[in-house]
Chain A
Amino acid sequence: MFLGALLLIFLVLPAVLILAAIWTPLMLRFWILFAAFPLGLIAFALWRSRCKPEPGGRR
């Protein structure tokens, strides 16, 4: 889980962003970096904050 999380954060996400920026037209790549990425991140944080903690283990 740890390795997966680190790879996702520092390898997969940056690679997706770089490829998306290279392969899309000027206007679209502007909005990917200025709107889609932050909104996606906030949506993820919001979703995770609503997840119930695993029973037992975590306070």
Chain B
Amino acid sequence: MTLVSIVFVAYLLVVMVVGALASRFGRTMEGYFLADRGLGSWVTAISSVASSESGWLVLGLVGMAYTWGAQAVWTVPGVLLGYLCNWYVVAPRLRRQTEALGAITIPGYLEARFGDRWKLLRSLGILIILFCMMFYVAAQFTATGKAFQKAFGQSYGITYSHGVLIGGAITIIYTLVGGFRAVSWTDLIQGLLMVFGLVILPIITVSTVGGFGTLFRDLQTVPARTEAVMTVAEGAAISQVGVEDAPVDLAPGVTVRRVDGRFMLDVASSVTVRVGGESVEGSRELQVGDEIEAAGRSITYEKREEMVGGRDFADVLGGASGLGLLGWVLGLLGIGLGYPGQPQVITRYMAARSQGALRRGRLIAIVWGCLALYGAVVLGLAARLAVPDLIDPEQAYPSLATTHLPPVLGGILLAAIISAMMSTADSQLLVVASAVARDFIDQTLGVRRRLSAATMERTLVWITRVTVLLVGLVALVLALAEVRAIFWFVLFAWSGLGAAFGPPMLLALFWRRVNRWGALAGMATGILVTILWKTTWKAAVVELTGLSLYELVPAFGLSLLATWLVSLLTPSPPALPPGFEDEE
């Protein structure tokens, strides 16, 4: 067993032990879902940021900087403005009002805030959480499987399925056993590991390339990246299919996917496909010029290199101008709009021990964000000089961790990658479970009324644990089956949640006049505009104006408008709930 794997196993054991320790608490619903509102400043701060930043931070953002250069930095103010809004605007009021109302979930808060006896807000909230987050959990397990396979595939024969099972099972077990407290405590460890990796590795990589001065100077001469693009010719028609890494259908049961710059043909067992006259079963790597015969079609595979990413690497504007630049910058800055609406993040503020814990937590979260996010961007830039020939830019972090560091440190940094994914998956798993167990089974079906007072809380916690297990198993099966719909749903998750919950939550916290009809309209508008913008409107706007805008920006704006307008057009809310008056 290598040192790297020993460190890795030690990390997994620590996470399990923390989960087991947390299981001694949480015997009531509030204890299980909110740790009895007893989180200290460090746990509140680090667990909130660790659950919002998934593998996207350590793999995606690093890869983005590697591909696009300094213009990827616009993501960082976008995210940090989101932190600023959450910690200074949302957190203090959310904590105070949810405590006064006895709400332990976001749909529960909206229902109590507006006195919604018809449970419309809670029901719509459950649907949106299930729609956006169920597959999000599966996507985190998918990413965990891939990370395990990359790290230990060659040395220990760990396959993707093994990785999904190990990462998923550990996450499910400690979430199930310890609830919110286990999730928050493990998130603290995982968040600290993440920031450690994103500080240490950039420092080492920047010094490897000759320091900051050299980095900035050399970035100005970096050539743009090219990437393999697959085109297929069918008769006279030529179409491009292989730009994205997600699989693409060539014919029913026949798909093509890009793996490390190569294109693989996957054939279902019931389908007959011939390549270059030979029958193909299972998977086969395509060679340039291959003739593919499938479902009566004859297609020729061609491959060419296409330029991707930024042209001027040292320039934060990337040499772009006009609407193209504006769309890029606004899209990245717009990421911050999603933060007030993420249930897995804002429940942390509800669980803080006191307003003092929140006040101290702000500083910790902002410093963590600056270190981790800038670390990721600087790492991506330095990696472009240190390892310029990576086929997959998202492998910059793992590649540097394994090649440029001693084994123990490399192991810790690899654990940080898995940490990023697990810390998001566990929080999302708990949010989905709370929507099903607390919001649906307990509050909507009214199971609570049928239980005796003596056993009620304990029984409900057990129902919740079974729910965590079932939701986790569904996510595991989805990840193991590599269900394609996962990617489709994940595309909407961040924007959908941010636009559906964000504006109604902000107005519910601060505006007396908002009512349940306004909140309902805002939630429905947020999720619908996200889907419509992504699927149809975006392309139309690009064609018309040349402005390519991230869907969260229009969805958030229209949701805010709908909440405000419908509230004004419908009767005023009858009375303000407790916890609201004393703040005005």
Contacts and interface: CB of A to CB of B under 8 A. Distances in A.
Contacts, number: 92
Contacts of B543: none
A47 to B, nearest CB: 10
B73 interface: yes
Given A14-B333, A26-B315, A38 B374 contact: yes
B92 interface: yes
A55 interface: no
B316 A41 contact: no
B298 to A, nearest CB: 51
B337 A10 contact: yes
Contacts of B73: 33-34
Interface residues of B, number: 41
Contact of A58 (B80, B355, B360): B355
A56 B506 CA distance: 24
Contacts of A6: 85, 89, 506
Interface in A41-59: 41-42, 45-46, 48-49, 53, 57-59
Interface in B310-346: 314-317, 329-330, 333, 336-337
Interface string B356-396: 10011011001100100010011000000000000000000
Interface residues of A, number: 29
A52 to B, nearest CB: 10
A47 B99 CA distance: 28
B278 interface: no
A58 to B, nearest CB: 5
Interface string B68-88: 001001101100110011001
30 contacts: A2-B89, A2-B510, A6-B85, A9-B89, A9-B336, A14-B77, A14-B81, A14-B330, A14-B333, A22-B317, A27-B216, A29-B315, A29-B317, A30-B314, A33-B73, A33-B76, A33-B77, A34-B374, A37-B80, A38-B370, A38-B374, A42-B366, A45-B363, A48-B362, A49-B359, A49-B360, A49-B362, A53-B359, A57-B583, A58-B355
Interface of A: 2, 5-6, 9-10, 13-14, 17-18, 21-22, 26-27, 29-30, 33-34, 37-38, 41-42, 45-46, 48-49, 53, 57-59
